[in-house]
Every structure is written in C-alpha cells, then in structure tokens.
Structure 1
Amino acid sequence: MKDFKQALQILAVALFSLILLVGCQSKPTSEKTDEKKETEEESKEPLKFSISMRTLAFTHVENSPNINEDEYVKELEKLTNTDLDIRLMPHNEYSTKMDLMFASGDIPDVVQTSAGFGEGSGQSLQQAVEAGVFLPLDDLIEKYGSNLKKYIPEEAWKKQRYKDGKIYSIPEYLSNPSRRATYVRKDLLDKAGLEVPKTVEETLNVLREFKKMGVAQPFGGRTDFKYADTFFGAYDVLPYSSMWELDKDGKPVPKFFDSKNMEEALKTYKTMYDEGLLHKEFLTIDSKQYKNDAITGNIGMWSMNANELLQWEQQLKENVPDAEIAIIPSPVGPDGKGGYYLYGDVTRAYAINKETKNPERIIKFFDWMLSEEAAKYFTYGIEGKDFTMDSGKVNYKTPETVDEVNIERYRTAFLWMVQDTTYIKGLLEMTPEGQELIKVYDDILAKEGRDGINFDPPLKALDTLPDLQPSSDTPPKVLMGHMAKMITGAEPISDWPKVVEEWKTRGGAKALEEAAERYKNKEFTESRRK
C-alpha cells in the first residue's frame, strides 16, 4: 500500500511538471499569435509616409493648390493602402532645396533623387548617405521586391550602389537613353516646300524661310541652352558633366576644349541671333514660357523629349488647328553625326530614411509600381472617369483639353514613380500616331545622340567650385557667361581658347588631374556613342 501511495505521489509530481512545461511552452506560442494578429492589423491600416518629389515643371503639379488632395493621389492611396504626404520641390530650385532640406534635418521618409548619388541632387546627398541617413535596401528588395528585381535592369541598379557596394535607392529607369528630339512644324515645312534639313546650313535655311513666313521664333531658345543645345550637339561640344573625351595625348578633357568646333557652334547661334531666327531674350526664357511659345504657334523648330510629342501637338492644335509636329533627325555636324546628350540609365530614384517605420511596406509600394494593376491605373487613369471596360477591352477617353493633357502627363510621368520611362507603351499602341512615334525611337533616336566619358560620382575637385560645375544638361556658369556674351556680340568668339584657360586657372586644372587619375584607375563610364 505504501508503495502504491509513493507511486501516486511520483505520478502527481510528473503530471504537475508536465502541466508547467506545457504552460511554459504555450506562452510563447500565444505571444507569437498575438504578434501575428498585431502585424495583420498594422497591414490593414494605411501606411503613412512622407516623400519629397521634384515638380518636373509639370503644369498640373505646380498649379495644384494641394497635391495631397489630388484625386489621382487619392486613388493611388486607395490602390496601395497608403496615406501619402508628398512634399514638392520646385523644379528649377531642386538642388538648392535638397541641400536646405538636409541642413534643416527635416528629412522625409522617402527622398526622391535626380538619378543616384551624382550631380543634380545637391551636394549634401552623398554626405547624407555617408552619414548613415539612408537605409541599405539590398535585403529588403530581396525579400519584398520581386517585381523590382524582375524588371529593373542591372545597369540601373549599379547606379544605386554607393561606394560600400550597397543599394540605397530604387530607380526609375530608361531603356532607351536617346530621349530628346528635334521637333519641327511639319505644316510650315510643307507650306515652304522644303525637304527635311540634314546639315547645320540646311537647318539655318529652313529657319530663314520660317522667318519670312512670319514665325515669331523660327528656333526655340531657352535659358542656359536647356533644350536649345541642338547645334552644340551637331558640333559635339556639349559642355555637360558626361561629356569628356581623350585629347591627342590620351588624357581625358571636357569636350568644350575643342575650340575649333565650339567656335563653329557659337557662330551658328550668333548667326541666328543676328538674323532674328532666335528670340533676342532667349537667355531669360524659362520652361513655362518655352512651352507656351511652342503650343501657341510661335516657334518653328525646337527640342523636347520625344515621348511628349503627341501631347504637345494636341495642345498646339487647340491654338493652331492645322498645325502638325514631326520629329526629324537632328542636324549633323562635320563628323556626320548629331543629336542631344544621352540620358543615363536612371531618371529618378527613391532613398528611404533609416528612421522610417515599416520600410518593408515602402518597398512593397514601389514594387507595386511594376505590377499589371499599376500599369493599368497610371496608363488609363480612374475607371468610369478616364476609361470604361467593354468585354475586357479598355475604352480610353483621349484627352481633349489642355488641362486634360496636363493631367495625363502628370499621371503617367510624375505619379508613376518606378517604370521604364522611355514612353507609355499602352497609350502609344492605341493609335496610328502613337505607333508611328514608337517607330521614331527605332528609326531616328536610336541612330543619334552624343555621349562621352562620364565620371559618376562627379569629380570631387569641382565640389567647392560651383561656377565650374556643369549639370547633366546645362553648362557651368563660367562658360555660360562667355557663351552668352559671344552670341550677343559682347565678346569675340575667337577668344574661346582664353575661356578654356580661365576654366583651368579657376580650379579646372585640379579636375583634369583627378580625371586623369580616375581614368587610369578605370573609375569611369565609357561613351555609348563612338
């Protein structure tokens, strides 16, 4: 009997221990369940995050009283379960505003950069990356960015890797770097009975005919030669950050060192200025006035991104119903080539603040941008307003007014943050005009364009010399001042070699030394045009 009681006691202790053990093991399981429920609840709540974005000089964006209340932003939030706080940065003050933002310490959850960590995003961006302001994204992209990995080309990702080899931003990419094109009023060309010009001199003759026909601005000029650099391209002397070449000694130098061809290009602009083929105040014309002059019929030939052709033509027709715009091969120079600077593989990119909550959900937000649902929304807009569905087919309401065209441009280019931004394929395929524009990329743009040796990140020697710093598509201030004076007759064009020497003495010599060293160490990108 005694042995039986002892056995019961032992069994009771064992059972009690087992209950304690099970209880202890059950507790973490319960906690995990609670954590899972909490995560699920969080995912049901809209993700709130702030994002700084450049306005891109888009009319609809810059005229918006509150972009965060825009119906297309609201629809985007609905589709992505987000609550966006978009902080706009004026297009023409972007670099300065970026520097001020970093200096203030008020950095949003997501920062849009111009392309990566090179020029164009302000001098403070690289410093912020080095200071650990932004989150390395490699692991997050691997886990949550299946579309990002699938569709974004490796060349674009390379631009987002910093010196430590880590990815710090998500790129909007460009599959065709030849993006800018020469626009001409085809109706005026036909009326004058002229063929499409090929050379610089033939182009000048077309512009002279336009002047005789009463066109206010035969050629569209613009401040800093932005989108007005056609003839610098013809002579292959574009004075931009990506435009370096090897001199006769095999050393890298800026292309504007080619005094012979730079002087020829400047003479061309001076001829246009003297003959009234170029607006006398072209040096003060900003992007808004430039577009307004074009779509009101006051310009005969100008430059713009090819993907905007149909939108500009539609707006022009509201003012000049019989007008037609055509993209033609850009005028060629002595080497038989021409065109505009080739864009990089990235047009915009998005870095995530390391203090941001739920960065994985932000990755999912950008990953969604490359989904079929996103393509349908950004391409066609809001169902019932911009398009209807009929037996699975999209019936798109083609924009008719200037405001509607501006909204389409805003939706497809500004708001669609990550995409192949060469052109909106879904829209172009819908019409014969759009299909013809697709051919333009293959038949014209793929065969032209200027490029050079490119140092990215930019040369450090120029960091403290703002007057010597070029951008991707505007000359440095020290050059721009002399170019303006030479074209208007205030300085002799033959003095260009002196301008090159001034650039050297004001700090450019150090840039040449750094460029030579980086070229020797293969720290550069080769030209994509030979």
Structure 2
Amino acid sequence: MLNKKHRIGVMFAIVIAAAVVLATGCTFFEDKEFSGSASGNKTAKNEITVSIYDRGIIPASEGSYADNRWTNWINRNGPVNVKFIPIMRSESRQNLMKLFASGSAPDIINEYNTAIRNSLYEQNQLLPLDNVLKFMPEYEKLITQYPQLKNAGTKSDGKLYEIGKLNEANPLHAFFIRTDWLKKLGLEVPKTQEEFFQVAKAFTELDPDGDGKDDTYGTNLSYYSENALNEMFGDSSSITQFSWGIKDGKIVRLWENELASLTFKKSLYDNHIIDKNYMYDSSGSKAKQDFLNGKIGIYINPSVNWTEFTLSDLAILKKNVPGAEIAPLAYPKTSMGEFTGAINNPIQMTTVINANTKNPEAAAQYIDFMMKPKTSVTFLGDEGVHWTKNPNGCPSVLDPYKQKYEVSYNVDYQMFVTGINQKCGYIINKFNPEVPEQKTALDIYKSAQKLYLDPSRQSRLDGGRIYACISEQSECDTNGSAQGNKRSLCQSDHQRQ
C-alpha cells in the first residue's frame, strides 16, 4: 500500500509539474507572439462590430471593406478587435433597419443620413454617450473646444447621442464639362437650362471623341448625381423624399420645382442623352467609369473628394484620353432660377452607438483610437510612397494611382474624425503648386470655389440666398455664421454623402 501511495503521489506531482510547465509555456508564447503593451502584460481584446459603407470602389487586390490593409492595421494596433459590417451606401436605410429588426445591428453605426439616425433615436435604439465620454478623451476635448458639436449631437431629452466632426465648407456636388469637346464642336459653355440640354445632346450625337461610334453620353444620372441635377431647379426631393422650401416665410412643398426637374430629366432620358440603364447603376460606379474612359461630356460628381478627383481620377482620364480637358461648370440658370449645389456641412453628425452594445467602453475606446492624430497620419498612407510634404509642410499626393487604389477607399473608416483643426486639413493646403499636375488641380478647385460658393445664388433648400461668409479657413457655427475675424461660406443644410 505504501508503494502504491508513493506511486500515486509521484504521478500527482508529475501532473502538477506538467500543468505548470504547460501553463508557463502557453504564457510565454502568447506574450512573445502577441505582446505589444508597454508592460508586457497582454490581455485579450474586447470585440465590437462597426458598420462601414460599401461604395463598390475597393480594388479586388485590396480585399473587401471588411478585410483589407486598413482593417488589419486597426485590429493590430487598436485597443479592441473590430469586425466591420459592410453596408451598401445606396441601400443603407434598408440594410440597417433589417439588422436592427433581427437584433444583429453593429455596436457602432456610421451613417451620414440624419433621418436614419433620428429614426433610431425615436425607436430607443441609441445609447446615450454622456457616461462613456470619459473613454473618448479625444472627442471630449473637441466638444469642449467646439461646443456646437455637442449641441448638434444632443437630442430632445437633453442627452448626447451622436458623434460628429467639423468640416471645411467646400462644394460637395459639382458638374465638370469636357472643354476639349466644346472646342472640337465649336460650342460655348452652357449657362442656361436650354443650353445645357443642347450641349449635352451634341455630346451624345456628334461623336465628340472621334471614334466613329455611337458610344458617348451627354451627362450622367445615377446614384446621388440625380440630387445634384435636381439642385439646378431648387429641388431636394431625391434627398428628403419630398422637396420643401421657404416661401413668403412659410415652409411649403416645392411642387413646381419638383415638376421642373422631373420634366428635364425625362427629356434627357427620351433623347438618349443619359445611359438608359442608369437605374441599375446604384453606386454610380459605371457612370464614373464611363467618365474616366472619356465617354461622358458633362460629368455630375455627386460627392466630390477634391484631392482624389483632381489628382487621381483626372490622371486616369488623361491616361485613357491624353487630350482630355475638364473644367467646373456652374449650375445653369433654369426656369426656377439660379441655384448653387450642396455645400459640405461644417457641423456634421455621423456616428451613433447601439443601445444594445454589450461593451460601451470598448466602443468608445475604438472611436477614441481612430480620432488620435497618429491614426489619422497613418491613414494617409506611407510617406515617400503615397505622399510627401509640400511647401506648406502638408502631405501631398505623390503617386495618384497608388493613392487611388490603396488609400482613397479608406475614408469612411474615419467618418467621424475632424480634419480641419489644423492647417493641413484644408483642401487648398494639400496641393503642391510646384508640381504641374497639382497646380492644375489647385486651379480647378479654386475655380469651383468661385462658382459654387457664390452668395448671389439661391440654395436649394432655403429658397433664399446662401449664407455669405466666404474664405478658405474658418470655424463655423450651426447657423452658418463665422466666428471671430475669419469668414467662410457655411451652409449647415448639406452634408457629405
């Protein structure tokens, strides 16, 4: 019996020793492989889910919106593990409602559409943020400096629900016309609705690209480009279901404006001036590809990223069509008057947290991490590969192709990040005028500012004159007025789509 007990004791000791060794070994390998904290003590990261727009523009070589170089960097370096939930930009309302109805909505919802966020609030689907602000010191600091952000994110119950950012008030929708086609066909820049139609018709029928084929379109009408075309007539029906405005001090339905824009769009369709299959181009990617291939004469850009468009997109157009020349086109005068287009919202709410999230602290930590200046610099790409410093000391695109295919699609991951709290956040400082292509891009942007930030024109929503506070660098309140001695054109009705 003694020997048996002895054997049992020895075996028990061996098991304990093995367990200790195994546990030590696991700890060693875990620390070695996954270490990254300053103390060397690594704990498992919390997990959250985050919605991200699927705009259909990510190259296959980069992966998907859920899994690419940027999502991988976030998960390697961030405080939490993130599963990104791609949502088609053109169907975000439907997709989000389905996710909430099924109980599988993301922890963090990034959504530009104010009506969608308001609807979620009314359904008690959103988490009040007052108690988690302490886990977002970057945002807490920002709303202390700019209380307008806190005011805009606070709902009727007096609690903070929405996270937002400050934007430069720049043109959001823009028309670009092929000036080389105008010269070739002996046409003038269209200034009225009738001239727009005739020029677009000529671009469609007179073979402006000279290839002997019937393969050009006068303009495009898909995705949000329809909104911009509606704006010519002071009509906002594509954005808000119905078009409303102020007349004689009263809020009224703009029936005449809606009818005028609808009639004009039908004439474009009936005369084959637009692609008849435009309704299937839900992301606008086909229209953009047609433009880049030199097949559209008046390109309606529904959400202009000014550096990407004037550098990367135009570089592709020039490569495909070496003689192509473009210029911004002011909204033509219509039967409803002279209007300007959407202006990027200077105070813009973008992000909310699901009321049913299991770990609000983790969600807040992710938002704080994405707002850190170091993260924003990383999302510019690699210095010397994607960008270099220009004479202003600001990052400028170095390789338009690498920028477009490896960097540009990452913008929505930082949807809630303010970029204009320093000079390099302003578009005008992102160009290097010593580089010919960037000098051209800068000139296009300045021309667009002059055309679209025109205080003499009406805005499409207020029925009156657009707010007149003009310049490049400003801090604007939610009423569109400038603070201090700086001035800017600020129009809080519109936001980036």
Establish whether TM, by shorter chain, passes 0.5.
yes
Amino acid in the other structure paired with 1:313: L
Cα shift readout 1:144-179 (whole Å, capped 9, x = no counterpart) = 434554278544443422221211131244332641
8 Å contact kept, 1:52–1:86: yes
Determine the C-alpha separation between the residues in 2 that align with 1:416 and 1:244: 32
Query: Counterpart of 2:221?
Result: 222
Report deviation, 1:182. 0.9
Query: Counterpart of 1:313?
Result: 314
Aligned-pair RMSD on alpha carbons? 4.0
Determine the C-alpha separation between the residues in 1 that align with 2:165 and 2:59: 19
Cα shift readout 1:16-47 (whole Å, capped 9, x = no counterpart) = xxxxxxxxxxxxxxxxxxxxxxx997996474
Matched, 1:446 2:477: no
Amino acid in the other structure paired with 1:326: A
Where does structure 2 lack aligned partners over 5 or more consecutive residues? Answer: 1-36, 209-214, 433-437, 464-490
8 Å contact kept, 2:243–2:258: no
Secondary structure of the equivalent of 1:53? strand
Cα shift readout 1:463-487 (whole Å, capped 9, x = no counterpart) = xxxxxxxxxxxxxxxxxxxxxxxxx
Where does structure 1 lack aligned partners over 5 or more consecutive residues? Answer: 1-38, 455-525
In structure 2, the CA distance between the partners of 1:437 and 1:377, relative to structure 1 (3 Å rule), is: farther
Cα shift readout 1:441-460 (whole Å, capped 9, x = no counterpart) = 53122225734269xxxxxx
Determine the C-alpha separation between the residues in 2 that align with 1:44 and 1:427: 41
In structure 2, the CA distance between the partners of 1:101 and 1:355, relative to structure 1 (3 Å rule), is: same
Query: Counterpart of 1:367?
Result: 368
Matched residues, percent identical?
A: 18
Secondary structure of the equivalent of 1:107? coil
In structure 2, the CA distance between the partners of 1:262 and 1:72, relative to structure 1 (3 Å rule), is: closer
Amino acid in the other structure paired with 2:325: E
Select the residue among 122, 127, 133 that pairs with 1:135.
Answer: 127
Determine the C-alpha separation between the residues in 2 that align with 1:406 and 1:210: 30
Amino acid in the other structure paired with 2:382: I
In structure 2, the CA distance between the partners of 1:53 and 1:441, relative to structure 1 (3 Å rule), is: farther
8 Å contact kept, 2:176–2:327: yes
Please identify the structure whose Cα radius of gyration is greater.
1
Report deviation, 1:316. 2.1
Determine the C-alpha separation between the residues in 2 that align with 1:166 and 1:53: 23
Select the residue among 198, 204, 228 that pairs with 2:197.
Answer: 204
In structure 2, the CA distance between the partners of 1:385 and 1:72, relative to structure 1 (3 Å rule), is: farther
Secondary structure of the equivalent of 1:179? coil
Query: Counterpart of 2:4?
Result: none
Secondary structure of the equivalent of 1:277? coil
Matched, 1:294 2:287: no
In the TM superposition, 1:271-290 aligns within 5 A as 271-286=267-282, 287-290=284-287
In structure 2, the CA distance between the partners of 1:426 and 1:85, relative to structure 1 (3 Å rule), is: farther
Query: Counterpart of 2:398?
Result: 398
Give the TM-score normalised by structure 2. Answer: 0.68
Query: Counterpart of 2:49?
Result: 51
Query: Counterpart of 1:13?
Result: none
Report deviation, 1:264. 3.7
Matched, 1:432 2:439: yes
Determine the C-alpha separation between the residues in 2 that align with 1:385 and 1:177: 28
Secondary structure of the equivalent of 2:332? coil
In structure 2, the CA distance between the partners of 1:61 and 1:172, relative to structure 1 (3 Å rule), is: farther
8 Å contact kept, 1:222–1:284: no
In structure 2, the CA distance between the partners of 1:347 and 1:296, relative to structure 1 (3 Å rule), is: farther
Select the residue among 402, 416, 428 that pairs with 1:418.
Answer: 416
Determine the C-alpha separation between the residues in 2 that align with 1:75 and 1:424: 26
Query: Counterpart of 1:174?
Result: 167
Secondary structure of the equivalent of 1:222? coil
Query: Counterpart of 1:238?
Result: 236
8 Å contact kept, 2:52–2:84: no
In structure 2, the CA distance between the partners of 1:217 and 1:398, relative to structure 1 (3 Å rule), is: same
Select the residue among 98, 104, 126 that pairs with 2:121.
Answer: 126
Select the residue among 78, 91, 94 that pairs with 2:92.
Answer: 94
In structure 2, the CA distance between the partners of 1:122 and 1:175, relative to structure 1 (3 Å rule), is: same
Query: Counterpart of 1:382?
Result: 382
8 Å contact kept, 1:58–1:410: no
Determine the C-alpha separation between the residues in 1 that align with 2:151 and 2:140: 14
Determine the C-alpha separation between the residues in 1 that align with 2:235 and 2:417: 31
Determine the C-alpha separation between the residues in 1 that align with 2:326 and 2:179: 5
Matched, 1:338 2:330: no
Report deviation, 1:181. 0.8
In structure 2, the CA distance between the partners of 1:142 and 1:176, relative to structure 1 (3 Å rule), is: farther
In the TM superposition, 1:341-356 aligns within 5 A as 341-342=342-343, 344=345, 345-346=347-348, 348-353=350-355, 355-356=357-358
8 Å contact kept, 1:68–1:84: no
Determine the C-alpha separation between the residues in 2 that align with 1:318 and 1:104: 47
Secondary structure of the equivalent of 1:300? strand
Report deviation, 1:180. 0.7
Query: Counterpart of 2:485?
Result: none
**Which has the larger helix fraction?**
1
Secondary structure of the equivalent of 1:97? helix
Determine the C-alpha separation between the residues in 1 that align with 2:216 and 2:130: 50
8 Å contact kept, 1:220–1:301: yes
8 Å contact kept, 1:387–1:394: no
Matched, 1:158 2:151: yes
Amino acid in the other structure paired with 2:121: Q
